[in-house]
Amino acid sequence: MGIFLLMIFVIHVGLSAGPCMDPFLEEEKKDANMLVSRTPGGLAKKVFVFFFVFFPVVSLIFAVVMGGILAAAEG
């Protein structure tokens, strides 16, 4: 449940802060592979990859590392 709530938080931060980044990314708008997607298909692909591939993998690695430290500390 915590991971789901964190994903919802990230979506809200991205929606609110994303447009504020546009002036800083003016130069990168020319390159389609940069952070800002200009097509709905590109945006959908980046959202899918982030929330269903990258985020779960990073969460799992973080949980294994922190769980291993806790297990070692408890003996």
Residue-by-residue DSSP string for 13-75: HHHHHTGGGGGGGTGGGG-TTSS---SHHHHHHHHHHIIIIIHHHHHHHHHHHHHHHHHHHH-
- What is the per-residue pLDDT for 58? 83
- What is the per-residue pLDDT for 22? 62
pLDDT in tens, 23-74: 556 655 555 555 566 677 777 787 788 778 888 888 889 889 999 999 999 9
- What is the per-residue pLDDT for 32? 53
The band of 19, judged by pLDDT with boundaries at 50, 70 and 90, is low
Q: pTM value?
A: 0.48
Q: How many domains does the chain have?
A: 1
Q: C-alpha angle 53/8/58, rounded to 5°?
A: 30
Q: What domain range is 31 assigned to?
A: 2-74
